[in-house]
Structure 1
Amino acid sequence: MRQLKGKPRKETSRDKKERKQAMQDARRQVPTVVLPTLALAVLLIVVFVYVATRPAGTE
């Protein structure tokens, strides 16, 4: 059947399976990509604040 302009096409079972697979892959990447990245960002902020607020050395 011809697709009309501006109308969204109906989702097929194949599209649904692909979408579910993509969501599963994204959930699988959370502990391996997102969490280490967030931990690194927090660590950099903590180190920056520590270096910026530490007392000056007395010599």
Structure 2
Amino acid sequence: MSNWPYVLYALVLGIISVVTGEIVTFVMLGLILISLQNIHRVLKELVKINQTDTK
């Protein structure tokens, strides 16, 4: 799995946040992105486990 889109999004958000002075917003968005990515990864693992159990 490639993480380069997430790195690109983080860089763009970082540049925008530095220009606008919204550093706290950048940190909060980063935490939300990391949390959502972890939830997505766990859900994909659960689907994979569920599919192998039904076969």
Give the TM-score normalised by the residue count of structure 1. Answer: 0.46
**Which one has the bigger helix percentage?**
2
Q: Answer with 1 or 2: which has the greater Rg.
A: 1
TM-score relative to the length of structure 2: 0.49
Q: Which structure's relative contact order is higher, taking Cα pairs within 8 Å and 6+ residues apart?
A: 2
